[in-house]
Chain A
């Protein structure tokens, strides 16, 4: 049995089906990228994985157990925006998980415990490159820095699953590349399973070990909302398990990945993203 299994997941809002018959089995440590047209239900699927929304039908098992019906510490989340707390500084945001865990009623640590939490927060700040901005509030950070903070904050709980809902969608291309590199480093280091919804198909091919495409298989031109979406393509990718240079030097790996992509009915621009880097 796989680490995460979704069986015949469906979701509808009132009479409008969003998702239907979604089946999925994902191994631990995968980096699953999810693409699809706007409104195809990919973010809805992510929210169901998170527990923020409940599937109308079907069930999801993680590590053999039914997924909890509300968000919990096992699943980290980074949204496109509003993922950090505006009233706390960078340091405060990064100490918050320990505050929650160590102090049930006051929600704040004191003394030795506070010092330990501070050290952990500072180590994370170092890792995400925000050590120089410890006392700044999120509104004083750039978009890229805010998202780095959001990812760092989520990782402090060491979640087995990290969910990313278009995390880099609002960032400029240069920042986006840096963020992708940071995500890959953290993913390799922690071995967590990542689900990442993105609009950027190049990004999806480049980062993922697996690519899911959500789309509608049935279509009623008279009534476009008649059917929900499901996973229409499920593509294994080479991913970024090893540092890029080693992967490129391994002809078997890069050739295999390239074949996978070329055999699929996608327009040319998407393929370029998966070319091994020279």
Chain B
């Protein structure tokens, strides 16, 4: 049988999917062992055990200074900023995406501005945000929102435009007003697209979150990584990177699952992501 027609069974699929992860871990362990054989104090590639010990300390031993558990308080602080920032961006995306997508007048009014605004590198706005909003939560949340909103607005506006013209015309022949077309035809089809836009927006959102935390913060996952960088504490940095990746992955899968559960009609054809 041709290779192109050979499909792995369910068990093999899982095994094959796990293989690159296993190989990466084994490669790391070998490299780490080689370096530590040279110098037992090596900081660059710490052993899995020392990483586990460092993470145990951060997760389950109360911090002497604050009395909190650092990993969880960092995670909570970061996720809160991420959630609020994304929620603000999503609100903007719905309002302006719909205005641009549904109304030709709205398109003429907002489309050029959003297109121009989306080309500003968001990180260059960070100093402005710090100056205007101070070094508190608002600036960090603002960066996440500003960094993701233009992208999400454009994604949603395009989703509206992708709704076949036939549907909009048909709704008019069924007696719908502009408002009714928006609320009964466009918005219901927009919700699954919003979830998709959020999933896309989360990628830059994490970047801006970590950047903002690295520059001005007293807690958060990004703050911790850049704090311990000064001590070359790879035994904290590496697990934190894995932890952030895991969080991002779980959020992404949860959103995808949510969309399938709540909007089954949107996942009947095609759509693999």
Chain A contact residues, CB within 8 Å of chain B:
50, 52, 70-73, 75-77, 79, 81-88, 96-97, 99-101, 104-108, 137, 139-140, 150, 153-154, 156-157, 159
Contacts and interface: CB of A to CB of B under 8 A. Distances in A.
Interface residues on B, range: 20 to 34
Contact of A139 (B164, B166, B170, B268): B268
B147 to A, nearest CB: 30
A100 B174 contact: yes
Main secondary structure of the interface of B (DSSP, over half): helix
B179 interface: yes
Interface string B150-167: 000000000000001011
A76 B179 CA distance: 20
Given A81-B166, A82-B166, A99 B173 contact: no
28 contacts: A50-B173, A71-B173, A72-B173, A73-B173, A82-B164, A82-B166, A83-B170, A84-B170, A85-B170, A86-B189, A86-B265, A86-B266, A87-B263, A96-B171, A96-B174, A97-B175, A99-B184, A100-B175, A100-B177, A107-B179, A107-B183, A107-B184, A137-B268, A139-B268, A139-B269, A140-B268, A150-B170, A154-B173
A83 to B, nearest CB: 6
Contacts, number: 85
A105 B166 contact: no
Contacts of B184: 96, 99-100, 107-108
A64 to B, nearest CB: 21
3 cross-chain pairs, A with B, having the tightest CB-CB distances, nearest first? A82-B164, A139-B268, A71-B172
B185 interface: yes
A167 to B, nearest CB: 12
Contacts of B174: 73, 96-97, 100, 153-154, 156-157
Main secondary structure of the interface of A (DSSP, over half): loop
Contacts of B170: 77, 79, 83-85, 150, 153-154
A139 B263 CA distance: 13
Given A81-B166, A96-B184, A107-B183, A87 B175 contact: no
A125 B232 CA distance: 70
A101 B184 CA distance: 13
Given A82-B166, A157-B175, 14 more contacts: A82-B164, A82-B167, A85-B185, A86-B265, A87-B189, A97-B175, A100-B175, A100-B184, A104-B177, A105-B179, A108-B184, A156-B174, A157-B173, A159-B173
A100 B179 CA distance: 10
B110 to A, nearest CB: 23
A263 B264 CA distance: 56
A139 B269 CA distance: 7
Nearest to B164: A82
B136 interface: no
Nearest to A162: B173
A129 B263 CA distance: 26
Contacts of A140: 268
Nearest to A71: B172
A86 B171 CA distance: 13
Contact of A87 (B166, B169, B171, B265): B265
A156 B175 CA distance: 11
Interface string B234-273: 0000000000000000000000000000011110110000
A146 to B, nearest CB: 12
Interface string B174-211: 11110110011100110000000000000000000000
B185 to A, nearest CB: 6
Contact of B176 (A75, A76, A79, A100): A100
Given A50-B169, A82-B167, A99-B184, A87 B176 contact: no
Nearest to B189: A87
Contacts of B183: 106-107
Contacts of A101: 175
